[in-house]
Structure 1
Amino acid sequence: MSNTKYALTVVLGLLLTSIAFANFESAVNETKSITILAPDSPGSTSTFFTVRPDFRRCASPMCGGYFVKRVNQTVTNCANGRKMAECYVASLDWANTSGVPIDRALLRGTLLTRGDRKGKYGVLKVEEAWQASSDSRPSGEFYRVRDLGLRCIAAPCLSHNEAKLNTTLSRKIAGVDINSIGALDDLVSQASQAMTGAEGVLVAGTHATVTGPAGRAQMLKATQFYLKASVGTSNLKPCIKTGCSGEICADDTRMSTCIYRSEYECYKKASCERQSNGNCGFTRTPELTSCLARK
C-alpha cells in the first residue's frame, strides 16, 4: 500500500513539474520575442522638433531666429518647401502653449510661412512644449514612453511601451532607466507618474539588453527625459529692446544693420513685452501707431 502511495506521489510530482516547466518555457519564449504593437497613429508621434538659437551676426529677421530639426529624421521639410538637415525660422509662435527655455525645449508644432515688408520667413507654430529635466545633453533616439501597468514574477518584464517620435514604430520594452541623467528626485517621480498617463513621457536614449529567468529583452536607458509644460506656466525670459537702435523687441540680444530710421524714435517709449502669441513685440498702443504713421 505504501509503495502504491509513493508511486502516485512521484507521478503527481512529475506531472506538476512538467506543467510548471511548460508554463515557464512559454513565459520565456514570450519575453524573448519582443512584441511589436500596432503602429501608433502618425498624429500621436509626429512633428516633434529640437530647436537651437541662431547666433549669426546679421540683421533680424534674416538672422537671430532659430534652427529647428525633426527628431529621428535626417531631413526636415522646411517652410519654403526645401528638405534640409535643419530649417531656419525667424520666430517661434507659442500661440496658446506654455513657453520653456530654448536650451531645454523639445517642441511639437507646424512650420509655416509668414511675412511682412521685409520679406517672408519660416515660423514654427508651437502646439506642445516639453522641457528637459536636466542639463544632460540628449543622445540616441527620441521616444514617447508609457507604463503599461504590467508587473511580472520573472524578469525581464515587458512593462512599458515605446513609440518612436516622427515614425509609426512602436513596441514593448522591459522598462526605462531615467535615474542616471542628473535630474532632481522630484522630477524623476513626476516622470514615473506621468508614464502611467495617456501622453506618457518623452525620452531620448539608447537600448540595452537585459536578461533574467524569463529570457532576454530590450530596455531603454535615458540620456534625457522631457515633461510636458503645463498650460498657464511659463519659464520664458523677459523681453528686452535690442538691435543697434533698440528697434527690435526680443528675449535675447539681436544684431541689426545700424542704419538709422526716423521711425526708431517711436520705439524708445513703446512697451516691449510678450504678445498674445507668446512672442516678444512692441505693444501697438494708439500712441505707437500714431507715431509710426507720422514717420
Structure 2
Amino acid sequence: MTCRALVAALLALSALLGLADPAASEPAGVGSSFYMVRGDPRLCPSPLCGGYWVALANRARTRCSDGALRPRCYVAQAIGEDRRPLRAALPDASLVRAEITSRRSGSLGELGALVVADVWAPVGGGAKGDYFRARDLGVRCVRATCFSIRTTRVNGASRMMVSSLDLLSATASSQATRKELARVRSALTSRDGLFVLGRIIRTSEAGSILQASRIYLRAAKPRA
C-alpha cells in the first residue's frame, strides 16, 4: 500500500470511529440577530398555538421558517443551542439573540422553532421607539456638552454618540428595584452594553439624549 493510500485509509477509519473533528458533528452556533418575542395567546391545540410570535428588532419584515417574509413569525417552540427544548418559557416581550429554524412535528410536518442563545428580560412598560445598544465609554469632559455614550441600532451598523441617557420613564413605570438599577449601571459600562427601546432627541444645548421607554436586563442563559 502506498503512503497516500495509507493516509486516506486512516482518515476514513477515524471518521467511522468518531475521531474526526468533534465540531463537525455539533450544531452550528447562533448568529448575531436579535428578535422580539411575545407569547402566543391563542387557545387552539398545541403545537399549532401556544408557542411564540417573533420578529427581528428594528425590521419591518422577518424571514420565517418557510422562507416567507412576514411582519412576524410563529414558532412552535424555543430550543437551546444544543437543539433541545428549553425547560422554562421565555419572558414575554423579551429580546433574544437567536435564529429561526424548522423542526419536524410528527404528522404536522415542519414547524418553526427558535434557537435561543441569550435572553434579555424587559423592565418598563413602554413600547415605542427603536432598539439600541448603549455603552458608556467612560469619557468625562471638563464642560458640557459631553458625548460619552455610544449607541448602536440593534440589527444594524449605524452608530451615534449621545450626551445623555434618560431612563426615568422606563424605571419609574416599572418601579425598578435598587438591584435592577445597579444592574442597569453595570450593563451600561460593560462590553455588551445596555439594550434599550427608545428614541434619540436633540436638546437646545446642542446635545442629544437617548430617551428610553423600556430597558432590557440579561436573564439566565436558557437551559435545555
**Which range, TM-score by smaller chain?**
0.7 to 0.9
In structure 1, how many angstroms separate the alpha carbons of the residues matched to 2:204 and 2:140?
Answer: 16
Equivalent residues of 2:36, 2:93 under 8 A apart:
no
- 8 Å CA contact 2:150, 2:159 repeated in 1: yes
Which residue is equivalent to 1:206? 199
Which structure has greater helix proportion?
1
Q: Contact between 2:38 and 2:93, CA under 8 Å: does it hold in 1?
A: no
Q: Which runs of 5+ in 2 are unaligned?
A: 1-30
Name the residue aligned to 1:138: 127
For 1:179 and 1:185, locate their aligned partners in 2 and report how far apart those are by CA, in whole Å.
Answer: 14
User: Structure 1: how far apart are the matches of 2:168 and 2:126?
Assistant: 15
1:251-262 to 2 correspondences below 5 Å = none
Provide Cα deviations, 1:77-123, integer angstroms capped at 9, x if missing partner: 11110000000000111447896752241111010110132211010
CA shift digits 1:211-268 (9 cap, x unpaired): 43xxx1221010011111244xx7xxxxxxxxxxxxxxxxxxxxxxxxxxxxxxxxxx
Aligned pair partner of 1:61 in 20, 40, 47: 47
Change (3 A) 1:128 1:99: farther
| Aligned residue number for residue 156 of structure 2 | 167
- Pairing partner for 1:86 from 72, 76, 85: 72
Q: Which residue of 2 aligns with 1:50?
A: 36
Letter in 1 for 2:50: G
1:120 aligns with 2:120: no
Amino acid at match of 1:105: S
1:227 is aligned to 217
Q: Which amino acid is the alignment partner of residue 145 of structure 1?
A: A
Distance in 2 between residues matched to 1:101 and 1:74, nearest whole Å: 23
Q: Give the Å deviation of 1:175.
A: 1.9
Q: 1:65 to 1:131 in 2, by over 3 A?
A: same
**Identity %, equivalent residues:** 30
TM-score normalized with structure 2 length? 0.76
1:87 & 1:210 partners in 2: Cα distance?
A: 38
Q: The residue matched to 1:81 in structure 2 has which SS?
A: coil
Query: Does the 8 Å contact 1:158/1:172 carry over to 2?
Result: yes
Q: Distance in 1 between matches of 2:127 and 2:117?
A: 22
CA distance 1:154–1:103, shift in 2 (3 Å) = same
* Structure 2 partner of 1:268: none
Partner in structure 2 of residue 190 of structure 1 = 183
1:196-217 residue CA offsets vs partner (Å, 9 max, x unmatched):
11101101101221243xxx12
CA distance in 2, matches of 1:48, 1:68: 10
Report the CA distance shift for 1:100/1:225 in structure 2 as closer, same or farther (over 3 A): farther
Distance 2:137 2:78 in 1: 35
Contiguous gaps of at least 5 residues in structure 1: 1-44, 235-275, 278-295
d(CA) in 2 for partners of 1:100, 1:171: 35
SS at match of 2:168: coil
Summarize the Cα distance change of 1:211–1:153 in structure 2 as closer, same or farther, 3 Å threshold.
Answer: farther
The Cα RMSD (Å) is 2.2
Opposite residue 80 of structure 1, the aligned amino acid is: D
**Cα distance change of structure 1 residues 162 and 98 upon mapping to structure 2, 3 Å threshold:** farther
Q: Which residue of 1 is the match for residue 166 of structure 2? A: 177
Aligned partner of residue 132 in structure 1, secondary structure = strand
Distance in 1 (alpha carbons) for counterparts of 2:105 and 2:197:
37
- SS of the residue corresponding to residue 92 of structure 2 reads helix
Partner of 2:96: 107
* 2:154 paired with 1:158: no
Q: Which has the larger radius of gyration?
A: 1
C-alpha separation between the residues in 1 aligned to 2:93 and 2:105?
30
* Counterpart residue identity of residue 191, structure 2: A
CA distance in 2, matches of 1:205, 1:108: 19
Contact 2:61 2:71 in 1 (8 A): yes
